[in-house]
Amino acid sequence: MKAAGRLAKRLARAMLVVALVVAGSTFLVRFAPGYLSDAREMDARYGGVARVELSAEAARSTSLQQMLGTELRGWMHGSLGISRQYEVPVAGLVRQRLAVTGGLLLRSIVSAWVLALCTALVSSARRRQSLLWQLPSALLLAVPTAAMATLCMLSDQGGPVLVMTLLVAAQDFKFLDRMLRKAWQQPHLLQARAQGMTTVRLIYAHILPSISSQMLALAALSIVTGLSAVVPVEVIFSVPGLGQLAWGAAMNRDLPVLLGVTMIMAVAVTVAGMPGDGAGEWQGA
């Protein structure tokens, strides 16, 4: 019963987070400057049609409750609403691009974890912290994602996977190095090393199990970091994923598409954080 209660509590919290994200996104988009404007108004051939469409949209957007109700009706029909820019169901647009973004995130996060974990294991095994190991991650975190992607594109070296891998690995390395360094200093590990136990056995039998719950929480942070880099990376490298779709929707004030992409990202973040929360609760119990 306690486990079911904890699961229901986490699900309710996740649903609340998603609802708040959707409501907040709707509010920000609706009241952003230039929401009820269209570039076609400047063209005599399309100005009249554009003004009629904007008047109809203004009538539908008189209140936040009305806008949310319209979007919810689209979600209940399974279409996620109709795109203002493409005039097609949002579900079709999202479905085409979801696999592209998911594959990019998966490859980047797996590569980043391999790179960060191997580097942190070597760095943390040293008795003293060295600036040589800390400097690369600090420099990578100091460079904006868009600047890093632009540099790779201009130099024709690397691609979207490399940029996101370096970004996520630099973020994860700081936490993994701190966790592993603390684990290496545990008394039983110091005694095992003194007795000649191999480093590989120490890592698999003692260190990794002791930090497993912290690694789950860090995995959720990796997903958040990757999602934060999706938009600039996909836009600069012209990757046809959700990030590029969200950028186009923001530029064209396409609220249904923005809400659909935002909801998917909010669900991904909340679901990714559930295993870490659950592990922490069980460990605390």
State residue 3's pLDDT score.
Answer: 66
State the average pLDDT over residues 128-151. Answer: 82
In whole angstroms, what is the distance from residue 89 CA to residue 266 CA? 20
More confident residue, 201 or 245: 245
Which of 139-148, 193-202, 216-225, 231-240 has the highest mean predicted lDDT (pLDDT)?
231-240
Judged by phi (left if over 0) then psi (alpha if -120 to 50, else beta), residue 279 lies in alpha
Tell me the pLDDT tens digit for each residue of 128-137.
766 677 788 8
Structure tokens that stand for 58 in this block: 């203004």
Taking only the tens place, the pLDDT of each residue in 152-189 is 888 888 889 999 999 999 989 988 888 888 877 777 77
46 phi and psi, to 5 degrees? Answer: -120, 0
Task: Tell me if 188 sits within 8 A of 202, measured CB to CB.
Answer: no
* CA–CA dist 203, 118 (Å, integer): 11
Least confident of 71-80, 230-239, 266-275: 71-80
Low-confidence winner among 54-63, 235-244, 269-278 (lowest mean pLDDT): 54-63
Q: Under the phi-then-psi rule, with left for phi > 0, alpha for psi from -120 to 50, and beta for the rest, what region is 87? A: left
pTM (global) more than 0.85 = no
- What would the pLDDT profile of 51-101 be if each residue is shown by its tens digit? 666 566 655 555 666 666 766 666 666 667 778 777 788 888 888 899 999
Query: What confidence score (pLDDT) does residue 177 get?
Result: 87
| Residue 282 pLDDT exceeds 50 | no
pLDDT of residue 83: 81
The pLDDT value recorded for residue 283 is 47
Which of 13-22, 36-45, 210-219 has the highest average model confidence (pLDDT)?
210-219
Of 24-28, 108-112, 145-149, 206-210, the range with the lowest mean pLDDT is 24-28
pLDDT at 50 over 90: no
User: Which residues, in sequence order, are bridge partners of residue 89?
Assistant: 82
